[in-house]
Structure 1
Amino acid sequence: MINGEKKLERPIRWAMVGGGRGSQIGYIHRSAALRDHHFQLVAGAFDIIPERGKEFGVNLHISPDRCYSDYRKMFEEEAKRADGIEAVSIATPNNTHYEICKAALNAGLHVVCEKPLCFRLEEANELEDLAKKKNRVVGITYGYSGHQMIEQARQMIANGELGDIRIINMQFAHGFHSDPVECHNLSTKWRVDPKFAGPSYVLGDLGTHPLFLSEVMLPGMKIKKLLCTRQSFVKSRAPLEDNAYTIMEYDNGAVGTVWSSCVNAGSMHGQKIRVIGSKASIEWWDEQPNQLRFEIQGKPAQILERGMEYLYQEALEDDRIGGGHPEGLFEAWSNLYSRFAAAMERGKDLNQTWYPGIEAGVEGVRWVQNCVRSADNGAVWVEYQ
């Protein structure tokens, strides 16, 4: 159980690029990073408007001279300080991730990056090679994977409780963009513009989340080939999709599907993953993240609850309060930031646990690229490359 005692000799000196006032995601980065005293926010380039970014940084109790006009200036000036930053989080539009991450690694910094890591697999491979060369950690914020019941599912599958894995059904299908909300919502507008969002919308923005959950639960399974079809039901979003279906075949003979959608009218969030084996199935829904449904063929369904002593020890390690008290997305993100910090302190990947690192970022780019290639060639099967 996490109780707030220090696990690092000292907090990591940390900065943010983006995530300023009005950011949809900036606050959860700061809340997660600062919660367990693993990071100390000492600098930032929070906004494309320097004066607004400086005002915001000062309101976060950052010294005015460490609120910078842009990330390049921040990396340059912080490198001159004996107490300069050691890590940076990137919370900016998608089209900037590659260049900022590359600059941070070249500056000798650890990185936590919003997904997608970048747009092209060549760029992703370049960043992976650079991270290894610099011996720096790159964490990707697949925040839902920090929920403890994901770890429970991982352990149950590894211990054979489901039998041979046959089917993985995944979805992230909400309804909040059933109408062209981007006409009056700036945080959505850039997500449907290829210049900023890249080659996809919901495949990259939504579908990669349950895909990564499947990678956590089933680390040994690899995709062999896939077929993807995508649609733009709100026509102004074309060529980017607001709905997509992906079918996958794995190297062990299993099959999987991912439904990625923002036009599932009436759905609040709609992220689910169901793993089906020869003996039993498990299902996790992010709107009820403290529960895992376990169904053994021929027996009544069981609802496993977070924090209970019948769970695997690995699923209890990140508990912050006893069972019965709900934990949510902020706790899940905090769990991941704790793992990022432990890896950064050691200067290498953790040996005893997992976290969404540079490999997860590369795989997300690879999956989207293959989905787009399949869809744009007429929804055909393509070998996974």
Structure 2
Amino acid sequence: MINGSKVLDHPIRWAMVGGGKGSQIGYIHRSAALRDHSFQLAAGAFDIVPERGIAFGRELGVAPDRCYPDYQTMFAAEAGRPDGIEAVSIATPNGTHYAICKAALEAGLHVVCEKPLCFTSAQAEELVSLAKAKNKVVGVTYGYSGHQMIQQARQMIRHGDLGEIRVINMSFAFGGYNVKVEDTVPAARWRFDPEKAGPSFALGDVGTHPLFIIEAMIPDLEIDSLMCTKRAFVEGRQLEDNAFVIMNLKGSTSVQAGAQVYCWASSINCGARHDHKIRIVGSRASLEWDDERPNQMTYEIEGEPVRVLERGAGYLYPEARVEDRIGGGHAEGLFEAWANLYRRFAIAMSGAGQEEYGDFWYPSVESGAQGVKWIEKCVESADHGACWVSFN
């Protein structure tokens, strides 16, 4: 159980690019990173408008001479300081991720990056190689994967409680963009601009979240082929606001050969807050997890009453209880899930403390590259009439 004691001997000196005043995602990053005393916010280039970013940095308590107008200036200046930053989080629009991540790695920094990591597999492979060459950690903020019940599902599948996995049904289909909100909400506007958002909206913005969760639950999952159809229902959008994907999986220790996955990624699901759900169907039993009720997970064995597993309960696998932050029965939410990921990022960066987990993992640069490849393959399939494409 996490009891508030320090994970590291000293907190990692950390900066942010983006995540300025009024940024919801910036606030989540800071709240998560600072939760366990693993990171210290030492510097930042918080806003594309330098004066606004510098003023906001001062509000956060960052020293005035370490509030920078842009990331290039920050990386150069911090490299010359004996107390310079050791890691940086990137909370900027999608189109900037690749350049900032590459520059950070070249500056010898660990990175935490919003998804998507970049726009193309060629860029992703470059970042994977660079991270290895520099011996630096790149974490990708698939924040929902930090919920405790994801770790429980991973252990149940690992121990064979579900049998061989046959079918996976997953969705992230919210309704908030059912009308053209980008006309009145500036923060939504760039998400439908291919130059800033990349080749996809629904698939890249929300579809990659359940994709990574099933990869976390089933580490030996391999996609063999997929078929995708997508479209923009709201007139005037350059990128899709709805997509369906069907995937065939390769056989493995956990997965039956020919297992199938269905994914619905959408922003026009009227009335739905998130509809972010994962259902894993095995030969013995099934699991279902809903991110709007993240502290519970259903466990269904054919012919028996449905069980509802609870976060923090003594019957969970030990690996799933390492990150208990409060006793069972008390609700944990998104801030705790993100804090769990940032704790793992810190442990990966420091190289210490992994043994307490028993099964240590985090969304890595390879995970980010897999998401980029998945988006590419989905777009390829959809652009060729929803044909089947090989994932190799």
The TM-score range, normalised by the shorter chain, is: over 0.9
Give the drift of 1:23: 1.5
Partner of 1:3: 3
1:172 and 1:221 map into 2 onto residues whose CA distance is: 20
**Residues 1:340 and 2:316 are matched in the alignment:** no
Partner of 2:191: 191
TM-score with structure 2 setting the length? 0.97
Give the drift of 1:347: 8.9
Q: 2:154·2:216 contact (CA, 8 Å) conserved in 1?
A: yes
TM-score with structure 1 setting the length? 0.98
Superposed counterparts of 1:269-348, under 5 Å:
269-346=274-351
Identical aligned residues as a percent: 63
Unaligned segments of structure 1, at least 5 residues: none
Partner of 1:171: 171
Partner of 1:376: 383
3-state secondary structure, aligned to 1:112:
strand
Cα distance per residue 1:262-302 (max 9 Å; x no partner)? 00000011100000001110000000000010000000101
2:277 and 2:361 map into 1 onto residues whose CA distance is: 21
**Residues 1:132 and 2:139 are matched in the alignment:** no
**Residues 1:222 and 2:227 are matched in the alignment:** no
Cα distance per residue 1:314-334 (max 9 Å; x no partner)? 111101000110000000000
Q: 1:137·1:348 contact (CA, 8 Å) conserved in 2?
A: no
Q: 1:44·1:67 contact (CA, 8 Å) conserved in 2?
A: yes
2:310 and 2:234 map into 1 onto residues whose CA distance is: 39
Report the residue type matching 1:184 in the other structure: T
Unaligned segments of structure 2, at least 5 residues: 252-257
2:391 and 2:353 map into 1 onto residues whose CA distance is: 29
Partner of 1:242: 241
1:271 and 1:68 map into 2 onto residues whose CA distance is: 37
2:278 and 2:7 map into 1 onto residues whose CA distance is: 32
2:353 and 2:243 map into 1 onto residues whose CA distance is: 36
- The count of aligned residue pairs is 384
Give the drift of 1:242: 0.2
2:5 and 2:353 map into 1 onto residues whose CA distance is: 23
**Residues 1:265 and 2:264 are matched in the alignment:** no
Q: Name the CA shift for 1:307/1:170 in 2 (closer, same or farther; >3 Å).
A: same
Give the drift of 1:236: 1.1
3-state secondary structure, aligned to 2:288:
strand
Superposed counterparts of 1:67-78, under 5 Å:
67-78=67-78
Give the drift of 1:244: 0.2
Q: Alignment RMSD, CA only?
A: 1.2
Partner of 1:359: 366
Partner of 1:55: 55
**Residues 1:27 and 2:34 are matched in the alignment:** no
Q: 2:347·2:353 contact (CA, 8 Å) conserved in 1?
A: no
Partner of 2:254: none
Partner of 1:180: 180
1:32 and 1:362 map into 2 onto residues whose CA distance is: 23
Q: Name the CA shift for 1:52/1:259 in 2 (closer, same or farther; >3 Å).
A: same
Q: 1:135·1:347 contact (CA, 8 Å) conserved in 2?
A: no
Deviation beyond 6 Å, 4+ runs, structure 1: 347-351
Give the drift of 1:22: 2.1
2:2 and 2:221 map into 1 onto residues whose CA distance is: 31
3-state secondary structure, aligned to 1:84:
coil
Q: 1:137·1:349 contact (CA, 8 Å) conserved in 2?
A: no
Partner of 2:207: 207
2:155 and 2:49 map into 1 onto residues whose CA distance is: 47
